[in-house]
């Protein structure tokens, strides 16, 4: 069952927003499948996003006005909903990125000095 | 900020839906398709590719559900659904819903009605600066109610000599002012005379113009009168025109300048009435007789406690008491106290007398509400039993327990909300009715209490509603919580119900019996009390006496003529068919007002503080015969006494006190300030004088036909219903004393009843509460028995098939009813006995430790049990064993 991968998704929960925003900021507008494929590829297959996780997250970001979405035609002439980052999204990304870097540095220090 | 936006979106999404379901679904479908295609491209067959895509990316349906949750606020959507579902349920069970809402409206309505009055008299603070610092003085003469009116000179004494108040102001009522604006007919309004510091001390600012100042109070006279009018008067007569300031109105015929308008929120300093006109106190002081009855209001200095003020005022009060005692030869004044009470909620003559009855009513209404709650709980439990199937289905298709509990609680809250709203409406009329009753109790000015619910009252009824919802909703909610799918599915086969549920039902019935036993005992207590008041130790026979009050004022008949005419009238009335006996007197029993004098008896020495007022009456011959008071020694008055030395008749209380060991006949009594003594020529039985609550005071009767003391209260004892002789009585009055007007007509029993309106109201209401309690207990009992019999039909059938007789069956059913009632009474009796003590603390002279009311409630509850058991028992006895067994 798909649910059995949930532990992995749980780890992602707090950082999913950050990853989505980072990806959209770097690559530009993407539809949901492309976004999840991109994340999977970038993580070397470690992150496999369930639709039930991805789309509520996208909707939350949209409700907070960090991303906006519109239906567009893909390269393969299919209609898909494309997400792109907003100015507010970029500001949020910068703030979260700083927080994340700081946290990562702390964890790194702890790991190496105490571990 | 961004979170706020998310919630705003989701709130909108809950009701108006953000993106449509189709849009969401389309996006997911595209995702799934691309996923499947990419798997196909990797070389998998179509079926396997689709499956793989589902495994990797999850199913569309679940993702849809997750999206929907994110789109709106699921709990709000649930609540919305619960409310709609609940309303549908309530409409479906229309009968039950109506009963429950009626019960709630009654319970919440009666508590809120009582609370409305408590709020108006005691809680609602005046719209003035720092109302908590205000206090007022209450003079307390031993044995009398407290009184907020001081003589002006004592007001000055307290004002000038205290060190505890930063402000000390006086106000005096001006009743029945005839007030007219230019060119209109005067209307009767209530006013207040106030000192110059009154408005500044309260910290009030005018709505327009200015308020009365010290300067106004110094300068005011009949020629230069000024007035402040209320906002409401300004609104009614001047349409809120600022030009009203400076115009003139007429107050009691005196032209008066309007100098300003009081602030809108301020309707006067008296809690139970409204003031429309404020006039300078100087006017009252210039009037003949000066000003009496000054309400004294102080503002405590910062850091001074009310206890500090009490201590100082009580010291200052000694000087006042000594002066009054010396002046009036009444040593009891030395025992009088001057009390200090908070005035933040306004001055009130009613607060003292109404507090206990209101508190008592609140207790009764609260009990009724509690009883209604237990009834509603048992109704809901019974309905829960019929809804088990529905619940079971919902549980088995996956509804969570918390979801079911929430649903049940929502229903309870819905019921409570509707009940509270209906109760609020009921409370409005109930409170208005209570005000009218308090008004009829009399002895204070007409009441103008605003019973429209304010924020406090609304909060109270909302809390009452919430409290009841929790009280009656808890049990069905617990039942929903305790529901497990397995037991539900088992239940669907119809096999019994958990023992715990049955215990609940029985427990509720027991509680109902106990509560209504308390209510019934109290109503029995009051019925007994009222009957005692009306019949025990009266000293006169109140039945069949017509009281006719004439008013000779304006008839221009002098005393001599009037005396002759009245004597003729007595003869004429005596001749009317159906009339047994006629007399006249200065006052009649239990009328308002007493005629009091101090006096002394030759040869009787008494300490000054032992002296009591003597109660007087002037009566015509045959008064005692007419009232049914026994003449125990000596003789009745005679018309011939007119030309003899002064005579008097005393009652037993008087005789016992002054002549404990000898006959009073031939002795003399002399009133203070009077030189000639009265010779005692008779002794009569004790008869209550002004109050049914007080035993007969020391009473002296004088002859109304001696020394021209003409009196106009006629008493007529009849063989026939007293009002039936009214027509010939009127004719006789017209014929004999023509210019004299007929002031009022009543019967002695009505006059007595008018003096105990409050007691009769309390008795009536506690009777209603008791009857309601009995009815509710009967309903509960009937419901439980009917349900038990229906559930045990099969068992009864089997028993009968095995040889049980109908009598056995009836015995079992009636037996269980009696058992529950007995347990309920076992719990209720101690509570009932305690409630008697409680009632006695609230109402003076209640006969406590009287076994009769308790016996009455036990008897009543037993009757209730038998009535409630009758139908179910008969139904049980009609069970046909063959039918039941065939049905299996």
What's the confidence (pLDDT) of residue A1?
37
Interface residues on A facing B, Cβ-Cβ cutoff 8 A? 2, 31-33, 36-37, 48-53, 55-56, 59-60, 63-66, 78-81, 88, 92
For residues B221 and B128, the model is more confident at: B128
Using an 8 Å CB-CB cutoff, list chain A residues near B6: 60, 63-64
Distance from CA of A113 to the nearest CA of B (A): 37
Q: Answer yes or no: are the C-beta atoms of B132 and B305 closer than 8 Å.
A: no
Tokens matching residue B133: 């610092």
Same domain as B503, residue B429: yes
Q: What is the Cα–Cα distance from B514 to B254, expressed in whole angstroms?
A: 65
pLDDT at A12 over 70: no
Q: Which of B2, B27, B62 sits opposite A32 (nearest CB)?
A: B27
For B250-307, give the DSSP string: EETTEEEEEEEE--TT---SBTTS---EEEEHHHHHHSTT----BEEEEEEPTT--HH
Q: Which of B342, B360, B384 is the last residue of a domain?
A: B342
User: pLDDT band for position B442 (50/70/90)?
Assistant: low
Same domain as B434, residue B493: yes
User: pLDDT band for position B686 (50/70/90)?
Assistant: very high
The class level of CATH for A2-114 reads: mainly alpha
pLDDT at B493 over 60: no
Mean residue pLDDT of chain B comes to: 86
Asked whether residue B82 is domain-assigned, the answer is: no
Q: What is the Cα–Cα distance from B819 to B840, expressed in whole angstroms?
A: 31
Same domain as B288, residue B180: yes
Dump pLDDT digits (tens) for B793-823. Answer: 888 888 888 888 888 888 888 888 888 888 9
Task: Find the radius of gyration of the CA atoms of chain A.
Answer: 16
B213 in contact with A, Cβ within 8 Å: no
For residues B49 and B216, the model is more confident at: B216
Asked whether residue B102 is domain-assigned, the answer is: no
Same domain as B325, residue B194: yes
Q: Answer yes or no: are the C-beta atoms of B783 and B377 closer than 8 Å.
A: no
pLDDT at B150 over 80: yes
For residues B851 and B387, the model is more confident at: B851
Interface mutation target, options A52, A58, A72, chain B, most CBs of B under 10 Å: A52
For residues B593 and A31, the model is more confident at: A31
Same domain as B197, residue B333: yes
Percent of chain B with pLDDT over 90: 38
pLDDT at B730 over 90: yes
Dump pLDDT digits (tens) for B564-607. Answer: 999 999 999 999 999 999 999 999 999 887 888 888 898 888 87
Domain that holds residue B37: 2-72
Percent of chain B with pLDDT over 70: 96
User: pLDDT band for position B736 (50/70/90)?
Assistant: very high
What is the β-pairing status of strands B248-251 and B165-181?
antiparallel
Asked whether residue B459 is domain-assigned, the answer is: yes
pLDDT at B473 over 70: yes
pLDDT at B678 over 90: yes
Asked whether residue B211 is domain-assigned, the answer is: yes
Domain boundaries, chain A: 2-114
pLDDT at A38 over 70: yes
Same domain as B821, residue B792: yes
Asked whether residue B882 is domain-assigned, the answer is: yes
- Residue B776's nearest CA partner among B536, B525, B509 is B509
Asked whether residue B259 is domain-assigned, the answer is: yes
Same domain as B406, residue B338: no
Report the chain A residue with the minimal C-alpha distance to residue B24: A55
**Number of A–B residue contacts, CB under 8 Å:** 77
- The torsion angles phi and psi of B436, rounded to 5 degrees, stand at -65, -40
Same domain as B522, residue B469: yes
The number of distinct structural domains making up chain B is 4
pLDDT at B522 over 90: no
What's the confidence (pLDDT) of residue B231?
95
Task: Find the radius of gyration of the CA atoms of chain B.
Answer: 38
pLDDT at B498 over 70: no
Interface mutation target, options A33, A49, A51, chain B, most CBs of B under 10 Å: A51
pLDDT at B343 over 90: yes
Report the chain A residue with the minimal C-alpha distance to residue B63: A52
Q: What is the Cα–Cα distance from B722 to B544, expressed in whole angstroms?
A: 5
Using an 8 Å CB-CB cutoff, list chain B residues near A60: 6, 70
- Mark yes or no for CB contact B6/A64 under 8 Å: yes
Using an 8 Å CB-CB cutoff, list chain A residues near B70: 56, 59-60, 63
Name, in order, each residue with C-beta under 8 angstroms of B474's C-beta and a sequence gap of 6 or more.
Answer: B377
Taking only residues 150 to 179 of chain B, the set having a beta carbon closer than 8 angstroms to any beta carbon of chain A reads none
Dump pLDDT digits (tens) for B406-437. Answer: 888 888 899 999 999 999 999 999 999 888 88
- Mark yes or no for CB contact B24/A55 under 8 Å: yes
What's the confidence (pLDDT) of residue B649?
96
Same domain as B794, residue B702: no
User: pLDDT band for position B156 (50/70/90)?
Assistant: very high
For B142-171, give the DSSP string: TTSPPB--B-HHHHHHHHHH-SSEEEEEEE
Taking only residues 13 to 72 of chain B, the set having a beta carbon closer than 8 angstroms to any beta carbon of chain A reads 18, 24, 27-28, 30-35, 38, 54-60, 62-63, 65-67, 69-71
Q: Which of A49, A52, A81 sits opposite B66 (nearest CB)?
A: A52
User: pLDDT band for position B488 (50/70/90)?
Assistant: low
Query: What is the signed CA dihedral for B729, B732, B736, B741, rounded to 10 degrees?
Result: 40
Measure Cα distances from B835 to B397, B414, B843, B846, B860 in Å. Answer: 51, 33, 12, 12, 17
Burial of B640 (0-12, 13-18, 19+ CB in 10 A): exposed
SS3 B614: strand
Asked whether residue B789 is domain-assigned, the answer is: yes
Q: Which of A32, A60, A79 sits opposite B6 (nearest CB)?
A: A60
What's the confidence (pLDDT) of residue B631?
95
Q: What is the Cα–Cα distance from B648 to B650, expressed in whole angstroms?
A: 7
Q: Which of B51, B72, B93 is the last residue of a domain?
A: B72
- Mark yes or no for CB contact A59/B58 under 8 Å: no
Dump pLDDT digits (tens) for B276-334. Answer: 999 999 888 887 777 878 999 999 999 999 999 999 999 999 999 999 888 877 888 88
Asked whether residue B539 is domain-assigned, the answer is: no
Same domain as B659, residue B726: yes
What's the confidence (pLDDT) of residue B448?
84
- Mark yes or no for CB contact A55/B32 under 8 Å: no
Same domain as B626, residue B515: no
Measure Cα distances from B66 to B10, B24, B58, B83 in Å. Answer: 13, 11, 11, 23
Same domain as B424, residue B319: no
């Amino acid at each position: 069952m798909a649910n059995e991968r949930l532990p992995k998704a749980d780890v992602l929960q707090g950082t999913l927003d950050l990853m989505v925003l980072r990806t959209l900021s770097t690559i530009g507008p993407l539809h949901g499948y492309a976004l999840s494929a991109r994340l999977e590829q970038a993580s070397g297959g470690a992150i496999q996003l369930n639709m039930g996780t991805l789309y509520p997250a996208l909707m939350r970001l949209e409700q907070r006005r960090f991303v906006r979405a519109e239906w567009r035609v893909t390269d393969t002439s299919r209609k898909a909903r494309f997400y792109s980052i907003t100015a507010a999204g970029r500001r949020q990304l910068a703030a979260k990125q700083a927080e994340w870097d700081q946290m990562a540095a702390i964890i790194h220090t702890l790991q190496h000095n105490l571990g | 900020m961004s979170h706020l936006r998310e919630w705003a979106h989701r709130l909108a999404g809950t009701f108006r839906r953000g993106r449509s379901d189709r849009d969401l679904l389309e996006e997911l479908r595209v995702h799934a398709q691309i996923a499947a295609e990419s798997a196909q491209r990797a070389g998998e067959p179509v079926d396997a590719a689709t499956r793989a895509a589902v495994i990797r990316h999850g199913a569309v349906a679940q993702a849809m559900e997750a999206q929907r949750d994110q789109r709106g606020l699921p709990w709000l959507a649930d609540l919305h659904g619960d409310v709609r579902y609940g309303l549908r349920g309530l409409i479906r069970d229309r009968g039950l819903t109506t009963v429950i809402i009626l019960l709630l409206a009654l319970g919440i309505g009666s508590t809120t009605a009582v609370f409305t009055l408590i709020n108006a008299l005691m809680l609602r603070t005046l719209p003035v600066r720092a109302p908590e610092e205000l206090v007022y003085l209450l003079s307390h003469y031993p044995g009398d109610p407290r009184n907020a009116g001081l003589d002006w000179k004592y007001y000055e004494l307290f004002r000038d000599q205290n060190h505890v108040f930063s402000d000390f102001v006086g106000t005096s009522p001006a009743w029945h002012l005839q007030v007219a604006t230019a060119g209109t007919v005067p209307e009767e309004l209530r006013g207040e005379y106030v000192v110059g510091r009154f408005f500044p001390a309260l910290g009030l600012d005018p709505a327009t113009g200015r308020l009365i100042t010290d300067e106004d109070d110094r300068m005011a006279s009949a020629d230069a009168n000024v007035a402040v009018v209320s906002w409401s008067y300004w609104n009614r007569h001047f349409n809120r025109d600022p030009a009203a300031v400076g115009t003139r109105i007429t107050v009691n015929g005196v032209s008066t300048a309007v100098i300003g308008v009081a602030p809108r929120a301020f309707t006067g300093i008296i809690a139970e009435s409204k003031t429309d006109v404020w006039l300078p106190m100087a006017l009252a002081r210039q009037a003949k007789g000066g000003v009496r009855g000054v309400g004294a209001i102080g503002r405590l200095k910062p850091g001074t406690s009310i206890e500090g003020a009490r201590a100082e005022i009580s010291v200052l009060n000694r000087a006042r008491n000594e002066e009054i005692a010396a002046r009036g030869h009444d040593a009891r004044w030395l025992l009088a106290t001057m009390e200090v009470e908070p005035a933040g909620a306004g001055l009130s003559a009613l607060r003292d007398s109404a507090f206990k009855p209101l508190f008592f009513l609140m207790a009764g209404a609260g009990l009724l509400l509690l009883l209604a709650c237990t009834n509603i709980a048992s109704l809901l439990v019974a309905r829960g039993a019929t809804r088990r199937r529905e619940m079971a289905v919902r549980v088995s298709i996956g509804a969570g327990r918390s979801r079911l509990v929430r649903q049940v609680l929502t229903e309870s809250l819905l019921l409570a909300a509707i009940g509270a709203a209906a109760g609020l409406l009921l409370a409005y009329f109930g409170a208005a009715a209570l005000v009218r009753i308090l008004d009829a109790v009399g002895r204070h000015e007409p009441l103008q209490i605003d019973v429209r619910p304010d924020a406090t009252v609304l909060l109270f009824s909302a809390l009452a509603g919430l409290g009841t919802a929790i009280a009656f909703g808890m049990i069905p909610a617990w039942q929903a919580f305790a529901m497990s799918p397995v037991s539900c599915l088992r239940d669907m086969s119809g096999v019994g119900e958990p023992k715990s549920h049955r215990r609940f039902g029985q427990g509720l019935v027991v509680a109902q019996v106990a509560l209504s036993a308390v209510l019934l005992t109290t109503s029995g207590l009051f019925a007994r009390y009222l009957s005692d008041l009306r019949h025990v130790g009266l000293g006169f026979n109140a039945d069949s006496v017509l009281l006719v009050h004439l008013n000779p004022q304006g008839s221009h008949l002098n005393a001599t003529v009037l005396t002759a005419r009245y004597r003729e009238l007595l003869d004429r009335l005596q001749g009317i068919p159906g009339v047994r006996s006629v007399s006249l007197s200065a006052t009649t029993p239990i009328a308002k007002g007493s005629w009091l004098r101090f006096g002394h008896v030759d040869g009787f020495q008494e300490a000054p503080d032992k002296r009591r007022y003597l109660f007087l009456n002037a009566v015509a011959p045959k008064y005692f015969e007419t009232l049914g008071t026994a003449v125990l020694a000596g003789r009745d008055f005679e018309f011939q006494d007119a030309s003899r030395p002064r005579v008097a008749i005393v009652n037993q209380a008087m005789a016992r006190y002054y002549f404990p060991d000898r006959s009073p006949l031939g002795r003399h009594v002399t009133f203070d300030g009077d030189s000639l003594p009265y010779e005692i020529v008779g002794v009569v039985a004790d008869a209550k004088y002004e109050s049914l609550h007080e035993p007969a005071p020391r009473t002296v009767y004088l002859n109304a036909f001696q020394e021209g003391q003409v009196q106009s209260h006629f008493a007529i004892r009849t063989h026939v219903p007293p009002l039936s002789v009214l027509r010939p009585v009127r004719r006789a009055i017209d014929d004999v004393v023509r210019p004299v007007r007929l002031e009022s007509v009543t019967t002695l029993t009505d006059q007595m009843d008018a003096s105990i309106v409050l007691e009769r109201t309390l008795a009536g209401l506690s009777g209603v509460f008791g009857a309601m309690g009995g009815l509710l207990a009967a309903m509960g009992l009937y419901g439980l028995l009917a349900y038990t019999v229906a559930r045990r039909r099969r068992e009864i059938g089997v028993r009968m098939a095995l040889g049980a007789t109908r009598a056995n069956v009836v015995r079992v059913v009636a037996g269980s009813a009696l058992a529950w009632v007995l347990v309920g009474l076992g719990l209720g009796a101690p509570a009932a006995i305690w409630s008697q003590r409680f009632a006695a603390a609230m109402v003076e002279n209640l006969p406590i430790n009287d076994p009769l009311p308790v016996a009455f409630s036990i008897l009543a509850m037993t009757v209730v049990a038998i009535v409630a058991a009758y139908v179910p028992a008969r139904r049980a006895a009609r069970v046909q064993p063959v039918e039941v067994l065939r049905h299996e």
